[in-house]
Structure 1
Amino acid sequence: MADIQQLKDIVTQVRRDIVRQVHAVNSGHPGGSLGCAEFIVTLYNEIMDHNPDFSMDGVNEDLFFLSNGHISPVYYSVLARAGYFPVEELNTFRKLNTRLQGHPTTHEGLPGIRIASGSLGQGMSVAIGAALAKKLNNDDKTVFSLHGDGELQEGQIWEAAMYASANHVDNLIATIDVNGQQIDGSTDAVLSLGDLKNKFEAFGWEVLTIEKGNDIEAVVNGVREAISLSRKRKPICILLHTEMGNGVDFMMGSHKWHGVAPNDEQLESALAQNPETLGDY
Structure 2
Amino acid sequence: MTMVEADVRLIAEKAKEMRRQIIRMIGAAQSGHPGGSLSAADIVATLYFHEMRVDPAQPHWPERDRFVLCKGHAAPVLYAALAEKGFFPKEELLTLRRINSRLQGHPDMKKLPGVEMSTGSLGQGLSVSVGMALAARLDQVAWRVYALLGDGEIQEGQVWEAAMAAAHYKLDNLCAILDYNGLQIDGPCCEVMNSEPVAEKWRAFGWHVLEIDGHDITAIIGALAQARQTKGQPTIIIARTIKGKGVSFMEKQVGWHGTAPKPEQVEAALAELA
Fold shared per TM-score above 0.5: yes
Aligned to 1:140: 142
Q: Output the CA distance in 2 between the equivalents of 1:138 and 1:177.
A: 30
TM-score by length of 2: 0.96
Q: Are residue 9 (structure 1) and residue 13 (structure 2) matched?
A: yes
For residue 101 of structure 1, the aligned residue among 80, 101, 104 is 104
Q: Is the 8 A contact 1:59 1:139 kept in 2?
A: no
Q: Which runs of 4+ in 1 moved over 2 A?
A: 53-56
User: Post-superposition shift, 1:171?
Assistant: 0.7
Q: Are residue 59 (structure 1) and residue 59 (structure 2) matched?
A: no
User: Post-superposition shift, 1:102?
Assistant: 0.5
Give runs of aligned pairs for residues 1-281 of structure 1, distance below 5 A.
3-56=7-60, 58-108=61-111, 110-210=112-212, 212-229=213-230, 232-275=231-274
Q: Output the CA distance in 1 between the equivalents of 2:247 and 2:59.
A: 35
Q: Percent identity?
A: 46
User: Post-superposition shift, 1:164?
Assistant: 0.9
Q: Output the CA distance in 1 between the equivalents of 2:66 and 2:170.
A: 18
State how many pairs are aligned. Answer: 270
* Greater length-normalized contact order (CA 8 Å, ≥ 6 residues apart): 1
Q: Is the 8 A contact 1:54 1:112 kept in 2?
A: no
Aligned to 1:278: none
How far does the alpha carbon of each residue in 1:134-179 deviate from its partner, in whole angstroms, 9 at most, with x for none?
1111111211100001000100000111111111111100111111
Q: Is the 8 A contact 2:59 2:87 kept in 1?
A: no
User: Post-superposition shift, 1:106?
Assistant: 2.3
Paired letter, 1:6: L
TM-score by length of 1: 0.93
How far does the alpha carbon of each residue in 1:227-271 deviate from its partner, in whole angstroms, 9 at most, with x for none?
222xx2111111011000000000001111100011122111100
Paired letter, 1:220: I
How far does the alpha carbon of each residue in 1:14-65 deviate from its partner, in whole angstroms, 9 at most, with x for none?
1110011111111000000000000000000001111112444x52121111
Q: Output the CA distance in 1 between the equivalents of 2:177 and 2:121.
A: 17
Unaligned ranges ≥5, structure 2: none
Unaligned ranges ≥5, structure 1: 276-281
Paired letter, 1:237: I
Cα RMSD (Å) of the superposition? Answer: 1.2
Aligned to 2:87, what secondary structure does the other structure show?
A: coil
Paired letter, 1:198: E
